[in-house]
Structure 1
Amino acid sequence: MAAPTSPTPLEAGLGRALGPQDLAVLSPAVLCAEPGSPASRLRGRAGRTEWPTAVHDDVTRAAHVASVRDTRIVLVGGSTFAWVHHAVRQLRTAGSFPVAVVATDVTPDEELTLLGAGANLVVEPRAGAREVVARLTALGRSAAGDALLQVRWLQAGPMRVDLQARRCLVDDEPVQLSQTEFDLLAYLMGRAQQVAGHHEIAQQVWGWRHGDVRNTLRIHVGRLRRKIGDPPRAPRWIGSARGLGYQFLQPVAELGEDRSEERLRQAIAVLNAQADALQALIDTLPAAQDAATVAETVVQWAVTRGFGDAATVFRLDVDDAGRGFSRLVASAGMSARWRQSIATGHPVSEGFMGSQVYARGEVVQMSDMTRLSKRFPVTARMSTAEDLHACVMFPLHVHGRVWGDLAFVSRAPRAFPPARSAYLRTVAAVVALAVEARTRDAALDARAPGEVAGA
């Protein structure tokens, strides 16, 4: 059936029906739509944010993107029942995310068949935009709640936190924590090895949105550190990021009671998809002629494979005055306006988040860069213009120094999950090795023939 030329009521009203709270529950979202169907045009905009986050007409591609991201919901729609049924079955095997069928005419028997194939919800195609958003949001919240209950323990070396019993043990000895201290510890462990901003912690742990929270938070962190035996000058568990916030320093394993074969199969499917994607990148990099081509290859790979809505590679350089200068090498998912604004590079200053990567040579991660207008005004301004929020930046160590950085960015205002960050850290290491090899080749090519022969 040919797609109508005028927008359906759902298409026309989707942007008005979506609010910030809905986007927080339903992003990232993947739409898998049959080519030429009304569902293929089902995309709304709330402010600067487009939703769904990714749209694909290839079921295999949609399944891959949904499986490697922290996908909150997958939408399936089409004009042909057989196509929709096939898509639902294949997507159901890709992960535990909820699957909703939208913008699709089905009979009662066909609806039962789709639910049996793995769909969590089949939305009446003539439902209004507000009803559709309400039903999807309810499904998203339910799925998020189930996911939280699946994690029972957080384990970091000798520290073990029981989320259900609200207990903390260090070296098998119980640590008596107040409710506030437990919530703070659990939140930081849930975002292990990621810097959580002062206001972000206050909002997520206690619901505070305004005011100066730093002093109060410092007191709570101090009490927590004393109880878990963590000296602030040589912290083992909780580190401070000056001017930014705090982070749990050790890697954390999330353990649950659900050991079903289905959940194990889904976990293995995600790992296999990530391994395949990484192998594809490794197979492509040898063809890159120079560092710029390596950078272009990885940013295109990251966006095409769904590991971020955008990706960038910057190189650390110096200007004529000997000051640090950051130059864009490659980007994907960014607008032409953004690329033009950064075409000449910019000084490495405190207002640029990348300066933290260059200064410390460590990973920097933020859940919402648009809120950093006071701390990183340059980064906040650039991010707001592109409607980009979460970011994880990796230093690229080449020949023993920081050559530049590789950043993965998402439109969802939530930090990259720890498992995703660990995977992308491996990607950054592979890219750094490729850049080092190309720069070494370039240095050899620049030497005189006699020098090379006598080397």
Structure 2
Amino acid sequence: MLSAERPSPATHSSFLPTPPGQGQRAVVVVGQRPGETERRLANLVGQVGWNSVRVLDEENIVWAATVHHPAAVIIVADADDWTVRTVRAVRAATQGVIVVVGRLDALRTVHILTVGADSVVTDDAPDAEILARLFALIRREPGTVEESTHYLQADGLTLDLRNREVTQAGDTVRLTSTEFRLLQLLMQEHGRTVPNQKIIARVWGGGAAEGINTLRIFIARLRRKLGDPATNPRLVASIRGHGYRFLPQVIELRTDGRDDPAPDAEPMSGLDAVERLAHSLAGCADTRTVSEAFVHFLVNGTTVDGVAVHRKVNRRLLLQAQYGLSPEWVRHATDLPITGGLAAGAALEASSELVVLDRGPRRFRDTARLLQDEGVASTLFLPFNFGPNAIGCVGVTRRTTGPWSARPLSVLRALTAVYGSQAAARTA
């Protein structure tokens, strides 16, 4: 029996990380028993900078899905009754459900989709395809607000998503954090009836039996503060037996319409970048053309100035492709011994990304020597899997100073993961 009760700390601490903070994404990966597929999918989610929550205990599936408010749940299918039961249990708590099966069977696929799954894919599908399906589900979800959206406006009502403030006709409306989340969800889903179960899961993460009464109380409080009578609603309508609907049209804005200008836009959003890269690499015949297309894409589609991709072979780094670096650099960096003074080697040894400012601290003397005439202010090294038992490192350079902010880093991680999977498919 699936349960929404929180397990004891001793039960869940070994596989459930701390729930992510605001602005991060979580994806719950569910398996009936430990296996290579669910482990691979959890690692894939982590590679794009999201929190992966692995659940291998049936009793904790609903608890994990509601507490972590995941962007999606990926279910590694097992017995049909368990798979169907799991889909139904998590459906209301997430934006998308992907079921991974060993083989496609038309009748089974139809049944899984009918009970609430959004997508069915085989376990041998390329990582890039699974990422594309995952991102597509999240992007199409009506309740998803673009990262650049800072305000929601409707009928004189303004929600400031950055400062968590609400104004109505210019006057401040004081809402609790729960009331704010409730109003934000309804406004994001404007014009659609939001089921009671979905509201409860997204706002409280609680069980449906006791949550509906709580929901009614909070709706009444919200209406009272907004001056919206239940008998003649102008903002929030009750759909008997189903849920609630926000009636006015909602506009998503980057500014509140006053004098402050919108911040500079990123060259490309994360979802668009991943999909465009996957599409551009699909027609490449071998690892060389995949690598060349990848580095050109990064320079033209992101904020980096130069890119180099190396593959580790024994204790050496072999250059696969580069763009934006000088012929002199290429001559010296085509075949590099891994030394203590090489930042890319340090990143590979630690299996962790590494940022080097200017030409690097004294301990990365070999990296400093390579970059001394390149005009580089900052270099980011991103290790990645290059097929079975093979690894590589992407180095991206910028000529501007300042730290690497979270959003460009997340995009670069996702693009590197897509490239790694495409290169691996042509290496095998």
Give the TM-score taking structure 2 as reference length: 0.38
Give the TM-score taking structure 1 as reference length: 0.36
Structure with a larger share of its residues in helix = 1
